[in-house]
Chains A and B, each alone.
Chain A
Amino acid sequence: MGAKAAENGAKSSSSAPSPPPLKAFFRLKTKQQELLIRVASLALIYVLAFAVRLFSVLRYESMIHEFDPYFNYRTTLFLTRNGFYEFWNWFDSESWYPLGRIIGGTLYPGLMVTAALIYRLLRFLTFAVHIREVCVLTAPFFASNTTIVAYFFGKEIWDSGAGLVAAALIAICPGYISRSVAGSYDNEGVAIFALLFTFYLFVKAVNTGSLAWALASAFGYFYMVSAWGGYVFIINLIPLYVLVLLVTGRYSMRLYVAYNCMYILGMLLAMQIRFVGFQHVQSGEHMAAMGVFFLLQVFYFLDWVKYMLNDKQLFQSFLRITLTFAISVGALALGIGTASGYISPWTGRFYSLLDPTYAKDHIPIIASVSEHQPTAWSSFMFDFHILLFLFPAGLYFCFKRLSDATIFIVMYGLTSMYFAGVMVRLILVAAPAVCLISAIAISATVKNLTSLIRTKGKAPLAVSGKGSSSLKASAKRSEAQALRFRSLESAEAQALHFRSLESAEAQALASETSKAHEASADQSLPFQHNCAIALLVGAFYLLSRYAIHCTWVTSEAYSSPSIVLAARGAHGGRVIFDDYREAYYWLRQNTPADAKVMSWWDYGYQITAMGNRTVIVDNNTWNNTHIATVGRAMSSYEPEAYEIMQSLDVDYVLVVFGGLTGYSSDDINKFLWMVRIGGGVFPVIKEPDYLVNGEYRVDKGAAPKMLNCLMYKLAYYRFGEMTTEYGKPTGYDRARGVEIGNKDIKLEYLEEAFTTSNWIIRIYKVKPPKNRW
């Protein structure tokens, strides 16, 4: 694009009479001005996308967030210290004690390798950074890159104006920010970039039919596979897209080249990732791609035969025979493959996307995870705001100007929208598509409006046709100016945070403009100019609401690291609870290096990463029995729990307790899950034993088993002596708002080792076996 524009500039300057040198230096040609503004606004968007994600660093500090990122951080650290081959063959004995975990074969290495490469590069450039800073800022960095990809993608499917708007929208879209703030060092941060990049390259390949672009998209796909399990979305969406093109009679040689190259090379590359391996040719989720691949060959073959035969009648009969044959062979192969077990059936997670009620009925583990919940409309609104109103308008524009590229973006938008409805976390995948489609709506609308304003005073344009095609035609003349106008706006937009619009108006605008255009063909309306200005103002009002919404959401809702807790104090000030790290550093400093820590699996990654101690279970929940054993220990009486802990060589037990601070996601509130999971494997544990009339209580009316199980004792040990709130009895649990039922807790086999300053984390030491003599 840059080269093209430069070429244009050169051409125009050579053709123009040469003005004085200094003046020429400042007076740019329209094309050059446009290019300058475009590049400048893109640069601003790039910075904005990065900067808006730094709220978490400003409000807390530069640290890794949540749970999974701690594992990623730990593996990255290992990778930078020991090199790639060590990493690839790493057997981790510090987690899942005594089983251990093969790391290299059970993760997507893309994120770690990326961060390590950035780290190496910075080191090479003699920037003395710590690997943690690189990890913290990886997600914002890739979010910035995503905006660039969005620009080119928008340019490919519509025009460069739409690209700019798309870049601006995606830079601050909350649906994307939720997974890419600084510190959120997770696979998704890199994967959304890879996803959009692959799609862009593929669309480019289809549009040009060039092998080079197809090859690039294969590599983009490889990067995506290495980074995130969500690559399955790509390998199903692209075949679906090809199929739709075939069905709607849009088969072309370009499509043939693009798909075949991308599929074959992408498949070979993807199989290099150990976690994927032969699944790529064997599992049911990838069969659609293979089927479409063969279908394309049939299409090509038929095309060739048609060309050779030159006889319509003969070709028809040939067509019938070939197709019947091909389809039966395909069906037979699929049937035999499935029956013989060579093609594995769909995984539960994939199946639950297609038939959403499946997970609820059959896979409680998937259904219970909070980010797998179905999406209510308010989450859509929260994550997309006005983009949702613009979406149908964008769809409409896409259908008005149907091409291979717009078909792709429509399909991407719709499928991801459906998936986002099934699972909250997939809003992330839908975010780029929604931004692109909405950008088309905004861009087309604003373009029309501005061209309307500009044509005022000139002779009415001769507009032929109607609807948006007329817009386009009329827009063409003043395109350069309009473009400049638009890019100015978007530049401004990002600089101040603008952008939110009553989508309504945006679309109304579009319509209005087209209408107005139609009218302008007949006569120049006196109102037209004012009306367009009013609509423009309305549009920018909405866009600015969007910007305000995004900023607020990012700052208040999506920037919490969840490892450091913030609360409003009595006087409105912020109170920070840093108990997690306090506890983990205590473990690191005060326990033997080979100590084994037992906790609920949620904290496993954090303990290994920050405390550097061996854990029994962690967030990679691959072994249900092992987790159930821990759940059983937590829900048993102390002597039985002691036996289990002895068998697992446990030295320390860590529990999270929110009774003093009112922190509600603590172990007491998670306890029923421990009972359920424990009871799922060991029938000795029965959920009703811990409930009173189906009610979960911790006060005096609690079930006796509840009051004496290990978890209760560890959480509430000596809590009965504590006054937590003025005017309440001692032992008043603020998280549940009750006075606890067992205030006199004696520990026989464990002793308190450490309790953090706000009692959020309590660590107990398991006593050695009693001396028998």
Chain B
Amino acid sequence: MASLIPIATLILLAAATSAAVPSGDDLVAELQTLRDQSPSGVIRLNDRLVSRFLSSVDTPRPYSFLIFFDANQLRSKAELHLPHLHSEFSLLSASFAAHHKEDDVSSSRLFFCDIEFGESQQSFGLFGVSSLPHARLVTPSTRSLRDSVSMDQSDISRGADSMADFVEAKTKISLGGPILRPPLISLRQVLFLLAAVLISAPFLIRRILEGDTFFHDRRVWMSLALFVYFFGVSGTMHNIIRNMPMVLPDRSNPDRLIFFYQGSGMQLGAEGFAIGSLYMVVGLVLAFVTHLLVRFRNISVQRGFMLVGMLLAYWAVSKVIYLDNWKTGYSIHAFWPKSWRG
């Protein structure tokens, strides 16, 4: 009996080790089940799953992992774009799954996973990830997780397409087709809109032909025109394209804010609007004086407003010119003949 105990322990041990180190096929099957549970096919990893599928499995593993590192606490930070990047990652995963639906072999070679910092801090340490956004590719031969291939910032930030290129370059597994993005508006909406336009068009055009819409009101056009002008000269396009903030905090004095940025080629949001408004002031003064002021009967009122208008316009122009010289650092001067200088 006493001799039986070691044997039993041996059997148990063997069973335990075989359970701890399952075969590659088992792992793949398990992963596929996990994958099927998520709509986009992205497996949510945690510390236990990382050790089960990655750190405790001998290389070469029968699969690669592309892991997206996520952190709920950082999702609110706009400059990291984590929600957007995660959705791109899910798109990539879903497209991969769609293109490899029939092909069981290649679809079981690459799995898309994400890890959330709050629930699996230990794994972040294993990978040595200290900053986000971050994505790693664990190839079958990667021994230590720290050595896994990290995706370039530029690849991540350019969305699903460049992520797919990265995967293809590193694993030789191609996506098998384009990224399948959901259309902005669904087919039904398109049809509905089309029908609406078609039905309303004759009525609209008839009214236009009769000349009785707000299109025929020149004031509408005028205000639109002034808006476009304001939009253009205030450098709003610059702010939109560059995502410029309205103001910057002053580094040397945190209580103060910088409204004007010195140096041409760059501007802050508030700065552009301030200048645009100065331009507009001049135009509006004109409109006011020519359009409204003439209706006043009282000559001295007219004269007073006229003077105020002129002063205002003068102030606006000199302000803009002063600011421009300050910003660009140019000192513009006339060229006089040398003999005049004395």
Q: CB of B280 within 8 A of chain A? A: yes
Q: Is the CB of A421 within 8 A of B218?
A: no
Partner among A381, A389, A418 whose Cβ is within 8 Å of the Cβ of B324: A381
Complex CA–CA separation, A556 to B333 (angstroms): 11
A356/B237 contact (C-beta < 8 A), A316-B206, A392-B280, A392-B282 known: yes
- Say whether A190 faces chain B, with CB atoms less than 8 Å apart: no
Q: Please determine whether A502 and B317 come into contact, CB atoms closer than 8 angstroms.
A: yes
From A510-518, A631-639, A745-753, A762-770, give the one contacting chain B. Answer: A510-518
Question: Contacts A418-B228, A508-B306 known; A375 to B237 CB distance under 8 Å?
Answer: yes
- Say yes or no: A511 contacts B229, CB within 8 Å: no
Beta-carbon contact of B216 and A249 below 8 Å: yes
Chain B residue numbers with a CB within 8 Å of A508 are: 285-286, 289, 306, 309-310, 313
Distance to closest chain A CB from B146 (angstroms) = 16
Give the residues in chain A near B240, CB-CB below 8 Å: 356-357, 374
Give chain A residues whose Cβ lies under 8 Å from the Cβ of B209.
249, 319
Chain B positions within 8 Å of A375 at CB level: 235, 237-238
CB of A420 within 8 A of CB of B232, answer yes
- CB of B332 within 8 A of CB of A548, answer yes
The distance in angstroms between the C-alpha atoms of A382 and B205, with both chains bound, is 44
Measured in the bound complex, the distance between the Cα atoms of B208 and A545 in whole Å is 46
B159 nearest CB neighbor, chain A only: A361
Q: Which residue of B lies closest to A676 (CB)?
A: B154
Residue-by-residue, is B303-342 near A (CB-CB < 8 Å gives 1, otherwise 0)?
1001001101110111011001001101011110000000
Nearest to B306 among chain A residues (CB) is A512
In the complex, the answer to whether B335 meets A382 with C-beta atoms within 8 Å is no
Partner of A377, one of B169, B201, B272, B303: B272
User: What residue in chain B is nearest A399 (Cβ atoms)?
Assistant: B222
Which chain A residues in 380-416 approach chain B with CB under 8 Å? 380-382, 386, 388-389, 391-393, 395-396, 399, 402, 410, 414
B291 to chain A, nearest CB (A): 7
CB–CB B229/A551 < 8 A:
no
Question: A755 at the A/B interface (Cβ < 8 Å)?
Answer: no
A555 and B222: CB pair below 8 A? no
Contact A418 B285 (CB under 8 A): no
Q: Of A249, A357, A402, A527, which contacts B211 at CB under 8 A?
A: A249
Given A377-B272, A389-B282: A382 touches B264 (CB 8 Å cut-off): yes
* Cα–Cα distance between A392 and B285 once the two chains are bound (Å): 11
Q: Is the C-beta of B192 less than 8 angstroms from some C-beta in chain A?
A: no
Q: A248 interface residue, CB < 8 Å from B?
A: yes
Asked if B299 is an interface residue, CB under 8 A from chain A, the answer is: yes
Are A683 and B169 interface neighbours, CB within 8 A?
A: yes
Nearest residue, chain B, Cβ from A246: B208
Closest to A359 in B: B241
- Quick one: which of A373, A377, A518 contacts B233, CB cutoff 8 A? A377
Please determine whether A378 and B241 come into contact, CB atoms closer than 8 angstroms: no
Tell whether A507 pairs with B202 under 8 Å between CB atoms, given A421-B236, A548-B333, A552-B335.
Answer: no
Number of A-B contacts defined by CB within 8 Å: 228
Which of A507-555 touch B at CB < 8 Å?
A: 507-508, 510-512, 514-515, 518-519, 525, 527, 542, 545, 548-549, 551-553, 555
Interface string of A552-575 (1 = CB under 8 A from B): 110111000000000000000000
Cβ A422 vs Cβ B237 within 8 A: yes
Q: Is the CB–CB distance between A378 and B222 below 8 Å?
A: no
- B267 on the A face (CB < 8 A): yes
Smallest beta-carbon distance A28→chain B, Å:
34
Bound state CA distance, A327 and B303, in angstroms? Answer: 56
Minimal beta-carbon separation of A693 from chain B (angstroms): 12
Given contact pairs A379-B265, A399-B221, A467-B291, A248 touches B237 in the complex (Cβ within 8 A): no
The distance from the CB of B23 to the nearest CB of chain A, in whole angstroms, is: 34
The smallest beta-carbon distance between A154 and chain B, in angstroms, is 19
Q: A247–B208 Cα gap in the complex (Å)?
A: 6
Whether A503 is near chain B, meaning CB under 8 Å from some CB there, is yes
Q: Which residues of B contact A246 (CB under 8 A)?
A: 208
**Most chain B beta-carbon neighbours within 10 Å: one of A359, A504, A553:** A504
CB within 8 A of A378: which of B201, B324, B335? B324
Q: A378–B282 contact, CB under 8 A?
A: no
B217: nearest chain-A partner, CB-CB: A248
Within 8 A of A (CB), among B212-265: 215-216, 218, 221-222, 225-226, 228-229, 231-238, 240-242, 264-265
- How close is A683's CB to chain B, nearest CB, in angstroms? 6
Asked if B58 is an interface residue, CB under 8 A from chain A, the answer is no
The interface bits of chain A over 121-147 (1 if a CB of B lies within 8 angstroms of the residue's CB, else 0) are 000000000000000000000000000
CB neighbours of A557 from chain B (8 A) = 330
Beta-carbon contacts under 8 Å, B179-221 to A: 194, 197-199, 201-203, 205-206, 208-209, 211, 215-216, 218, 221
Cβ A417 vs Cβ B317 within 8 A: no
Given contacts A381-B324, A508-B306, contact A417 B238 (CB under 8 A): no
Indicate if the CB atoms of B242 and A374 lie closer than 8 Å: yes
Of residues A414, A467, A686, which shows the largest number of chain B Cβ atoms within 10 Å of its Cβ? A414
Contact, CB under 8 Å: B279 / A382:
no
Cβ–Cβ < 8 Å partners of A514 in chain B: 290, 294
B47 interfacial by beta-carbon distance below 8 Å = no
Chain B residues whose CB sits within 8 angstroms of the CB of A380 once the complex forms: 232-233, 235
Q: Let me know if B14 is at the binding interface, CB within 8 A.
A: no
The CA of A361 and the CA of B286, in the complex, are separated in Å by: 41
Given contacts A379-B265, A395-B226, A507-B313, is CB(A319)–CB(B206) below 8 Å? Answer: yes
Which B residues touch A187, using CB under 8 A?
A: none
Residue of B202, B235, B289, B334 near A515 (CB, 8 A) is: B289
Within the complex, the shortest CB–CB distance from B257 to chain A, in Å, comes to 19
Quick check: B202 and A324 within 8 Å, CB to CB?
yes
Residues of A within 8 A of B285 (CB): 504, 507-508, 511
Q: Does B11 lie at the interface of the complex (its beta carbon under 8 Å from any beta carbon of A)?
A: no
Query: Is A376 in contact with B265, judged by CB distance below 8 angstroms?
Result: yes
Closest residue to B222 on the A side, CB-wise? A399
Q: How far is the CA of A505 from the CA of B314 in the complex (A)?
A: 7
A392–B317 alpha-carbon span in the complex (Å): 14
B293 interfacial contact with A, CB 8 Å: yes
Q: CB of B152 within 8 A of chain A?
A: yes
Which residues from chain B contact A392 at a C-beta distance below 8 Å? Answer: 226, 229, 279-280, 282-284, 286
Contact of A527 among B221, B231, B276, B303 (CB under 8 A): B303
Residues of B within 8 A of A542 (CB): 317
Report the Cα distance A686→B143, complex, angstroms. 22
Q: Tell whether, in the assembled complex, residue B332 and residue A511 are in contact, meaning their CB atoms are under 8 Å apart.
A: no
Complex Cα distance A503/B285, Å?
11
Residue A360 is within 8 A (CB to CB) of chain B in the complex: yes
Out of A247, A376, A519, name the residue touching B264 (CB < 8 Å). Answer: A376
Q: A246-B208, A503-B282 are in contact. List 8 more A-B contacts (CB 8 A).
A: A377-B234, A378-B265, A392-B280, A393-B283, A396-B290, A420-B232, A421-B231, A515-B293
Q: Chain B: residues with CB nearer than 8 A to chain A? A: 152, 158-159, 169, 194, 197-199, 201-203, 205-206, 208-209, 211, 215-216, 218, 221-222, 225-226, 228-229, 231-238, 240-242, 264-267, 271-272, 275-276, 279-280, 282-291, 293-294, 299, 302-303, 306, 309-310, 312-314, 316-318, 320-321, 324, 327-328, 330, 332-335
15 contacting pairs across A/B (C-beta < 8 A): A248-B216, A319-B202, A356-B240, A375-B237, A379-B264, A389-B283, A467-B294, A503-B282, A504-B317, A507-B283, A507-B285, A508-B310, A514-B290, A549-B332, A553-B332
Q: Which 4 A-B pairs have the closest CB atoms?
A: A504-B313, A392-B283, A511-B289, A507-B286
